[in-house]
Amino acid sequence: MDGFHDIHCHLIPGVDDGSESIEESLAALRREYEEGVCRVICTPHIAPGETDAAACQERQFGLLKKAVSESNLAGRIELNMGNEIYGATSAVPSLKEGRIHTLAGGHYILVEFAPPESFRHIEETFRSLLNSGYLPIAAHIERYECLRKPDALARLEELGVCFQVNTATVTGSALARETRWVRGLLREERIHFLGTDSHGMHYRPPRMREAAAWVEKHCGAEYAEKLLRKNPERVLRDEII
Ligand SMILES: [Fe+2]
Rounded to two decimals, what is the model's pTM? 0.97
Whether residue 178 is predicted with pLDDT greater than 90 in this model: the reply is: yes
**Rounded to the nearest whole angstrom, what is the distance from the C-alpha of residue 9 to the centroid of ligand 1?**
6
Contacts 24+ apart (CB under 8 A), 208-214: 208/4, 208/6, 208/32, 208/35, 208/36, 208/37, 208/167, 209/35, 209/36, 210/167, 210/170, 210/171, 211/167, 211/168, 211/170, 211/171, 212/1, 212/4, 212/36, 212/167, 214/170, 214/171, 214/183
Above pLDDT 70, what percent of the chain? 99
Q: How far apart are CA 153 and CA 151, in angstroms?
A: 6
Domains in the chain, start-ordered, CATH in brackets?
4-237 (3.20.20.140)
- How far is ligand 1, taken at its centre, from the CA of residue 103, in Å? 13
Confidence band for 107, pLDDT divided at 50, 70 and 90: very high
Would the pLDDT of 196 be above 60? Answer: yes
**Ligand 1: centre distance to CA 191 (Å):** 17
Ligand 1 centroid – CA 55 distance (Å): 19
CA of 132 to the centre of ligand 1 (A): 23
Say how many Å lie between the CA of residue 114 and the centre of ligand 1. 12
Q: Is the pLDDT of residue 2 over 80?
A: no
pLDDT for residue 11 is more than 70: yes
**pLDDT value for 50:** 85
Ligand 1 centroid – CA 82 distance (Å): 11
Compute, in angstroms, the gap from residue 140 CA to the centroid of ligand 1: 8
pLDDT in tens, 57-86: 999 999 999 999 999 999 999 999 999 999
Is the pLDDT assigned to residue 140 strictly greater than 80? yes
Q: Hey, what amino acid is at 60?
A: Q
Q: What angle do CA 66, 72, 76 make, to 5 degrees?
A: 85
Residue range 87-99, pLDDT digits in tens: 888 899 999 999 9
